[in-house]
Structure 1
């Protein structure tokens, strides 16, 4: 009984301290305009750096929050790798608890491979990577991880509809010191951590659906960042090494971060 009472006392004190911190944060004066200017400058520098890179590869880990009808938050985690050659070649993998997927694009043909089922589908989508990103999101409903960060003008894409900007100082992601920036748009909040130094690549990107009940988040953390000659991928065509069976897109199930048995707006 004493142990339980002690644990409750510690918990109460911890919650009280947290509430005090939140109260202090809520009454702090707004960050100066200079902080907003600096944040925009840092984001623009990242955007310019990314646009200059002709070849990029990185590992990533994602977390996708979903909220049930009874307000329970569930976290779906996955990992993968992206290799990209501008302007029109990309290879991406994603492995999570519900899907093990590979995506290849050679400038003409998009191939989606479900590794566990050993099934694949192909779609003709000639064009650049930014065109592919739009097609995957709007037409095929199979968005790429970190898609916002792969476009040729990241700054303009991210700053669309932004109404508030904050420079939160520095943070450390995976051992790399980063500039931590926070932005508020009309329908969502987002944060980004940008590596300090001469290679200002994104280390973590978090999106919060502020207008959705419970504010679910999507986050991606980037590691093993490489550019230029350090990127080894040169063949972005589909190599059917496992003799996978070709099927229609509708028959290629469980290749999204949100698995098929999770029903949006439903009861599951």
Structure 2
């Protein structure tokens, strides 16, 4: 199986007729509650809340869509956890049908552990979590919900945005959320923000406009904790299972795609 791109997409194929009719109606225009100033205010409030939290922990479920060479859309599902201690410590896990990965960073050293193969790789990356996010992107190993973990999420999220909509509310995991949609030059993205005193992101969806099939990446956040509710965490790697150290390029079983997927060229 050869994938032509790695990202995600929603498609009308095989949807019931009633759902298709709704999509056709929505296709004309979406103007309900399209208050740009209010949407920006809600996003800024979320950003300010996130920035003010020195310790954050949450569980997540994520879907990464890929589009095959023959235009079949496939959704790769995974789950994991994130614990952040600002400004320079993070522990993240990701488990799927083909990978079981732990990433730890103590402000000096990045460690990636492939739990199933009991191998790990390390790299010196002194600095903040923001710097780590940039370094991981160079290696095509993004942190889950990385934009939301930066010191100023609003600035990162609003880069190149050309259209903003406040689409009212929705419910994610039983939590009532403000539902916002944004369009940028290369991606469309949506976010659901919990209403109330703790406006944390409940769901975040990114759609690529530069890839065939407009694939999506979505992450749903649950069990949100901050401050004293975050359990004490050791961010340093101690190798309790006597894992074998390998070079980062030889760290098998930790990629976003399984081995039987071969990356093709982007559009």
Instruction: Measure, in 2, the Cα distance between the counterparts of 1:49 and 1:79.
Output: 24
| Structure-2 change in CA distance of 1:233 and 1:256 (3 Å) | farther
| Structure-2 change in CA distance of 1:29 and 1:137 (3 Å) | closer
Mapping 1:113-262, distance limit 5 Å: 113-138=113-138, 140-262=139-261
Instruction: Measure, in 1, the Cα distance between the counterparts of 2:73 and 2:258.
Output: 16
The total of aligned residue pairs comes to 252
Partner secondary structure for residue 147 of structure 2: helix
Partner secondary structure for residue 199 of structure 1: coil
Instruction: Give per-residue Cα distances to partners, 1:72-120, cap 9 Å, x unaligned.
Output: 1111000000001000000011000110000110000111000000001
Instruction: Give per-residue Cα distances to partners, 1:219-256, cap 9 Å, x unaligned.
Output: 00000000001111332111211110111111101212
Provide the TM-score with structure 2 as the length reference: 0.90
Partner secondary structure for residue 69 of structure 2: coil
Instruction: Give per-residue Cα distances to partners, 1:161-191, cap 9 Å, x unaligned.
Output: 0111111100000000000000011111000
Q: Going by fraction, where is helix more abundant, 1 or 2?
A: 1
The answer to whether 1:20 aligns with 2:15 is no
Q: Which runs of 5+ in 1 are unaligned?
A: 1-11
| Structure-2 change in CA distance of 1:208 and 1:28 (3 Å) | closer
Contact 2:61 2:77 in 1 (8 A): yes
| Structure-2 change in CA distance of 1:167 and 1:13 (3 Å) | closer
In the other structure, the counterpart of 2:8 is none
More relative contact order in 1 or in 2 (CA 8 Å, sep 6+)? Answer: 2
In the other structure, the counterpart of 1:4 is none
Instruction: Measure, in 2, the Cα distance between the counterparts of 1:137 and 1:160.
Output: 17
In the other structure, the counterpart of 1:6 is none
The root-mean-square deviation of aligned C-alpha atoms, in Å, is: 1.7
| Structure with max Cα Rg | 1
Instruction: Give per-residue Cα distances to partners, 1:184-236, cap 9 Å, x unaligned.
Output: 11111000000000000000000011232111110000000000011113321
Q: Which runs of 4+ in 1 moved over 4 A?
A: none
In the other structure, the counterpart of 2:43 is 43
Q: Which runs of 5+ in 2 are unaligned?
A: 1-13
Instruction: Give per-residue Cα distances to partners, 1:102-152, cap 9 Å, x unaligned.
Output: 0110000111000000001110000000000000102x2211111111100
Partner secondary structure for residue 262 of structure 2: coil
